[in-house]
Amino acid sequence: MADLRNNFAGIRSPNPFWLASGPPTDKAYNVERAFEAGWGGVIWKTVGEPVVNVSSRYGANAYNGTRVAGFTNIELISDRSVEINLREIKEVKKRWPDRAVVVSLMVPCEEPIWESILHQVNETGCDGVELNFGCPHGMSERGMGAAVGQVPEYVAMVTRWAKQHSRVPVIVKLTPNVNDVLFPAQAAVDGNADAVSLINTVASVIGVDLDTMSPLPEVNGKGSHGGYCGPAVKPIALRMIGDIAREFGPDLRISGIGGISTWHDAAEHIAMGAANVQVCTAAMHQGFKIVEDMIDGLSNWMDSKGYRTLDDFRGHAIPNYVRWENLDMNYEIVARIDQDACIKCGLCHIACEDTAHQAITARTNGTRRYEVIDKECVGCNLCMLVCPVENCITMERVDNGKPYTQWSEDPRNPANRVAAE
């Protein structure tokens, strides 16, 4: 049987599914309901000097029947006092000693302020702290959140303060709103962080009300940029997690965040190097009990693959996550259409004819039939992706007899032609 117990930078939990810092972890009531449902841990909603939040706060993109394909918020950190939050954290940890309780923190970049709040947090008995260097709205305008996370020197500096004044592991939460996430990740390592978590939300405007001409969500006729999350950001998260895992190796613990709605999403994050995962939007959309399916699904899949622990497959995708120039330039595939499964909708032909390589013919002699022109097919996958019938169109490898060749060796590379001349 799969063993889902998790040891994340010394923080133990019965499973790798944690709730990310946000509305679901705003108070003891929510957190205890989450633990009753089976969540392995929580990152308590960011504690700091209490703020005044606005109304409304959330917006969503619906797509193809999914009500919340992408989600945005303009909510800030906790609007409850530090004292109330820390008292509840202490009480919850006493009642749930086997669950991970990590406190998210955000205060101004002044060491005495960090020292003061960390000393208070130390007294709660919590398992760790997460430094919120990611929030892209509201707090960043006040010199916190992403305003810190986008400056590696600040990341390293505050992380050192946290390590100096904290008695528990320090996790640095990274912002995706940077050109290269490796720079702040390196700064966290330089500051001696115990782990990193990513991604925080992506700076965005979810939409515009064309009647009021206000960006959404609307606050009395006005709008502001917010933080984008939910299923739509999973590809961004996987890329950044993979970049860090490839650069720093398995010793740097990564808590994967971004677009996790199912056990499959979680497994992808772990395969790309995450040691555990954090969930927020999916819980807000479907409630805390989704963790039951996540636990069962991951356990069953691990059993089917022969993986006993999470470390048995953690980071296993990284050796295959290479830079573009290391891909095989001579690998060749072409599309194949299963005529028995084809429903004659023509989407493959339209997509290829209008926007790709004119490699699918449309025959109409009495009945419609779509066929691939092998010599024109470049193996781009577009037809397979637009086809509404699963496995109707597949991609088949062509044995062209050509050896593996990467771009640096390929004769089509202009640099090689110049060298040859």
d(CA 36, CA 385): 40
Helical H runs in 252-400?
A: 263-271, 281-286, 290-305, 347-355, 382-386
Query: Maximum Cα–Cα distance for the chain, whole Å?
Result: 82
Where are the extended beta strands (E) located within 159-198? Answer: 170-173, 195-198
Q: Beta 17-19 vs 276-279: how paired, if at all?
A: parallel
DSSP for residue 58: E
Tokens standing for residue 155: 């990341």
**Is 135 assigned a catalytic role?**
yes
DSSP for residue 413: S
Query: What is the chain's Cα-based Rg?
Result: 24
Residue of 126, 135, 280, 392 marked catalytic: 135
320: Cβ–Cβ under 8 A, 6 or more apart, which residues? none
d(CA 136, CA 150): 10
Q: Is the sign of the CA dihedral 9, 23, 293, 314 positive or negative? A: negative
47: Cβ–Cβ under 8 A, 6 or more apart, which residues? 77, 78, 82, 85, 86, 103, 104, 105, 106, 117, 121
DSSP for residue 204: E
Q: Beta 66-73 vs 226-229: how paired, if at all?
A: antiparallel
CB atoms near residue 24 (< 10 Å): 23
So which residues are the catalytic ones?
135
